[in-house]
């Protein structure tokens, strides 16, 4: 059975740009006449006329066909196909008839650069100034780009702006304004599941191809391959799902409504065979309208960034956190050191709990609204940033912390450039059977200084506590504040274990070795350093649960 993969469509999609005119022509689909309801009508009173559906069905189909033809005629002039070429070096035999300047030594061969077409995709006309919008992955790395218009003309283009994190790019062609018909843009936030849509592009280099379908899902996330400076992958939020056939080459093309207005940019498919399987992903017009003007102006786009990772607050997690099962929100799992979230004082999760057989981080802040807009899950928060937020803007987050609602102002920063960053994997406490229920890391002079302690403090810093585990029941606290130590991010601020039953603990390894001498059910005295003060707690060790 083939594993499903998410395929970015690396071919050009031909998109028809919509004519920019004061009076847009509305293309209405016909109202299909429903079949009359079946009734128990006596024979003597039964109608003698034919049912309405039978008599009007041919007209309805003709009207439907006319509507689709009208959409295509309106949109096609705004759609382009894009051919992408890269420079390759061709080896030529030495030519004795050429001057020495064109030969490369006795017996050596000549190297001649040439362009070779490496990809194709789609795009659409944005304005009468020659700006063409497409996907970034269509033109990324291209040395030569050629834009082919629906009337058969073509022009070379240059990239003037691109943003890998929204997968959008803007090209520029030198074409008279009279020959350019910009697409008309709809508000994708008003899109509805079941809404009829049309895709036009260049699948498999078949220019001007049109497919039809419906919007089959809203609010999807399209995960990109890039990794940001926190080591976390980035996803495009608010993505539209459609069953209109989308194939390689449709990338950068248009998905339009029945009025021929742009709802979004066809970007990717989910398929085991890199062909249409009825699940296509479309970057919504609300993001396109926000990003493209800035790409035209500045050449790049700064994504607003909070600096957290997290999960949805589910009923199961809410129960673990002693919240109402009906409570919803975005649960903060980790806070990136030095990020806006860190500066604003957002608190990440310091505990883990078993939910449906998996370890889940719990106990952090729960974001329930952003600037008054409800946040029911993590996707809502990401969509808010994509739709409404900008870099340097101060937003107001409503947060649940320890069951109480508080307001936190947060000033957004620009998302760090993608980079491959290795995240520290915190060592788990291991033992020969006795289980304390924590994750810990070694103290270092830098960590001690950041926690306001003397640099020579040693011990096992508690990073996370397993919910309802032995340490949690004894009141041991995990860490909550992000900190970067020698290029590695960790969490600090939790308890520091310095002794177990009088045995000195110099670090995580020593803690594991000491616990190995106990068995589940043993009661041990653990000495903690908390906020610079030493205290003792009694802990009944348990048995580590099976993963």
pLDDT at 25: 35
Catalytic residue (choose from 11, 78, 131, 137): 137
Of 268, 270, 287, which Cα lies nearest the Cα of 163?
287
Is 130's pLDDT higher than 60? yes
pLDDT at 483: 81
- 421 sits in the region (left: phi over 0; alpha: psi -120 to 50; else beta) called beta
Full DSSP string of 260-292: S-EEEEEEEEEESSSS--S-EEEEEHHHHHHHH
Q: Let me know whether 94 and 193 are in one domain.
A: yes
| CATH (domain of 455) | 2.30.42.10
- Partnered with residue 156 across adjacent β-strands are 146
pLDDT at 361: 87
Q: Is residue 14 part of a domain?
A: yes
Q: Let me know whether 122 and 219 are in one domain.
A: yes
CA angle 141, 146, 150 (to 5 degrees): 135
Residue-wise pLDDT for 89-127, tens only, equals: 555 555 554 444 434 444 455 555 566 667 889 999 999
Q: Which of the four pLDDT bands, split at 50, 70 and 90, describes residue 39?
A: very low
11 is catalytic: no
Is 256's pLDDT higher than 70? yes
pLDDT-wise least confident of 29-43, 158-172, 196-210, 422-436 = 29-43
Residue-wise pLDDT for 292-308, tens only, equals: 999 999 999 998 999 99
Q: What is the mean pLDDT of residues 454-464?
A: 89
Q: Is residue 47 part of a domain?
A: no
Q: What is the mean pLDDT of residues 60-86?
A: 92
Is 15's pLDDT higher than 50? no
DSSP state at residue 76? G
Catalytic residue (choose from 209, 251, 271, 440): 251
Report the percent of the chain where pLDDT is more than 70: 77
501 is catalytic: no
Of the three residues 356, 383, 414, the one that is the final residue of a domain is 414
pLDDT at 433: 65
Catalytic residue (choose from 131, 164, 167, 342): 167
pLDDT at 484: 76
pLDDT at 43: 42
pTM for the model stands at: 0.65
Cβ contacts of 53 within 8 Å, gap of 6 or more: 33, 34, 35, 36
pLDDT at 104: 42
Q: Please state the domain count of the chain.
A: 3
Of the three residues 279, 301, 323, the one that is the final residue of a domain is 301
Look up the domain containing 175 and give its range. Answer: 1-18+60-101+111-301
Q: Let me know whether 401 and 488 are in one domain.
A: no
257 is catalytic: no
Q: Is residue 338 part of a domain?
A: yes
């Amino acid at each position: 059975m083939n594993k499903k993969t998410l395929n970015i469509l690396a071919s050009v999609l031909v998109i028809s740009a919509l004519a920019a005119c004061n009076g847009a022509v509305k293309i209405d689909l016909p109202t299909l006449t429903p079949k009359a309801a079946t009734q128990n009508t006596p024979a003597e009173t039964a109608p003698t006329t034919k049912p309405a559906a039978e008599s009007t069905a041919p007209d309805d189909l003709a009207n439907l066909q006319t509507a689709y033809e009208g959409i295509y005629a309106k949109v096609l002039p705004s759609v382009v196909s894009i051919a992408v070429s890269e420079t390759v070096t061709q080896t030529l035999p030495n030519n004795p008839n050429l001057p020495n300047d064109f030969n490369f030594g006795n017996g050596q061969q000549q190297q001649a650069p040439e362009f070779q077409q490496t990809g194709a995709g789609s795009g659409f006309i944005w304005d009468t100034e020659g700006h063409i919008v497409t996907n970034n992955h269509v033109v990324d790395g291209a040395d030569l780009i050629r834009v082919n218009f629906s009337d058969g003309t073509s022009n070379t283009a240059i990239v003037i702006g691109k943003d890998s994190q929204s997968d959008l790019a803007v090209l520029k062609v030198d074409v008279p304004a009279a020959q350019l018909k910009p697409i008309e843009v709809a508000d994708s936030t008003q899109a509805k599941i079941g809404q009829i849509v049309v895709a036009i592009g260049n699948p498999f280099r078949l220019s001007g191809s049109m497919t039809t379908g419906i919007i089959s899902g809203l609010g999807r996330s399209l995960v990109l391959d890039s990794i940001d400076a926190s080591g976390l992958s980035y996803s495009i939020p608010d993505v539209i799902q459609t069953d209109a056939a989308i194939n390689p080459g449709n990338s950068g093309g248009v998905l339009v409504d029945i009025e021929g207005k742009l709802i979004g940019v066809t970007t990717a498919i989910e398929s085991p065979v890199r062909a249409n399987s009825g699940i296509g992903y479309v970057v919504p017009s609300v993001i396109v309208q926000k990003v493209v003007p800035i790409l035209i102006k500045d050449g790049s786009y700064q994504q607003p960034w909070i600096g957290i990772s997290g999960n949805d607050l589910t009923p199961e997690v809410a129960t673990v956190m002693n919240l109402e099962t009906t409570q919803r929100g975005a649960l903060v799992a980790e806070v990136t050191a030095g990020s806006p979230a860190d500066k604003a004082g957002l608190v990440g999760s310091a505990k883990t709990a078993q939910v449906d057989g998996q370890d889940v981080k719990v106990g952090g802040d729960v974001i329930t609204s952003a600037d008054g807009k409800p946040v029911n899950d993590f996707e809502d928060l990401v969509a808010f940033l994509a739709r409404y937020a900008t870099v340097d803007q101060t937003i107001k987050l409503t947060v649940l912390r320890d069951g109480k609602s508080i307001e936190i102002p947060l000033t957004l920063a620009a998302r760090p450039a993608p980079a491959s960053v290795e995240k520290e994997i915190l060592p788990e406490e291991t033992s020969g059977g006795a289980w304390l229920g924590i994750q810990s890391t070694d103290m270092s002079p830098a960590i001690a200084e950041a926690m306001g302690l003397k640099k020579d403090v040693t011990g096992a810093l508690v990073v996370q506590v397993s919910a309802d585990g032995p340490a949690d029941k004894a009141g041991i606290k995990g860490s909550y504040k992000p900190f970067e130590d020698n290029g590695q991010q960790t969490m600090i601020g939790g308890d520091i274990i310095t002794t177990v039953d009088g045995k000195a603990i110099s670090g995580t390894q020593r803690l594991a070795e000491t616990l190995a001498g106990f068995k589940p059910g043993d009661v041990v005295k653990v000495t903690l350093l908390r906020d610079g003060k030493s205290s003792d707690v009694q802990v009944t060790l348990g048995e580590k649960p099976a993963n």
